[in-house]
Amino acid sequence: GPLSEALHIQPALTSAISRALLGFVAFAAVAYTSKALVAPRVVLHEASDPRVVPALGAYSMDLMVVSTLLPQRLGLPLLCLAWALATLLALTFAVQSVRRRVPLEPTCFPVTVTFALVPICGASLGMPTAARDAAHLMGIAVALPLAPWAAFRVLRSADVAASPSVWPLLAPWALISRAFFASAADDPASLLHVRSCGVLFFAASSLTSLLTVYAAWRRRHAILKTFFSPACVHKWLDPLLGVHASGRAAWACCVGV
């Protein structure tokens, strides 16, 4: 509509930024694949350690994004492989966390947010509706029990609010909301093709985003001490991307795209 056209970012700039980000993701995926081939024992050790396994969770997300760059006959199998890897990692993380009594924050990111990326990528690769719905529901099943605990921890603990531990609060619902508009909103065959689902997902995404901003403001002095340190500056990219995903979902809801 006129509103979306009037506020649309320059296509050339959007394309350049997208290509740069995709190039970085592709490089990361290739680098970690090489590591898995050269040092498989190291990777297996990382997968069994709940404090290190987020690296593999990010790897599965990288593979999902890379799958969208390939032809359907190659991209869809890669996406399914990444989904299977994400499922295995999530189960391993849950078991090892219970065994070692490791708290949920911040180690569970991005293992717990991976599933909602499957329908987003699958929509562009012709993945069957049932498969996209299954991944979407898996993401919801993980986010539902995680969100209250993450919110409690972020609002209660200054240390958690001043660290990348806010990820489990913000990221899952941002991706779940985005997945609805990318996969289910325009597919009548989808189990989630219900307008109220979109409203609920967007509300949850907005609420967790606002809680994150509120917690960050309350702990702003502690955050500013470490925000720009070499150890933390790159880790804050993902919460910002989560806010971006929430914004994209809001935009889709408002202008119908």
What tens digit of pLDDT does each residue of 37-79 get? 888 888 777 777 777 776 677 788 888 888 888 899 999 999 9
Average pLDDT, stretch 167-191?
A: 80
CA 91 to chain centroid: 17
Between residues 29 and 70, the one the model is more confident about: 70
The C-alpha atoms of residue 101 and residue 61 are separated, in whole angstroms, by 26
The C-alpha atoms of residue 206 and residue 147 are separated, in whole angstroms, by 13
Residue (of 165, 79, 145, 148) closest to 114 by Cα position: 79
The set of residues, in sequence order, having a beta carbon less than 8 Å from that of 117 and lying 6+ positions away, is 61, 64, 65, 175, 179
The C-alpha atoms of residue 131 and residue 167 are separated, in whole angstroms, by 26
Average pLDDT, stretch 153-178?
A: 70
How large a percentage of the chain has pLDDT more than 90?
10
Check residue 162 and report its DSSP letter: T
Residue whose entry in the numeric block shows the structure tokens 């320059």: 10
Between residues 228 and 246, the one the model is more confident about: 228
The confidence score (pLDDT) of residue 183 equals: 84
The C-alpha atoms of residue 98 and residue 239 are separated, in whole angstroms, by 26
Domain boundaries, the chain: 2-255
The C-alpha atoms of residue 140 and residue 201 are separated, in whole angstroms, by 9
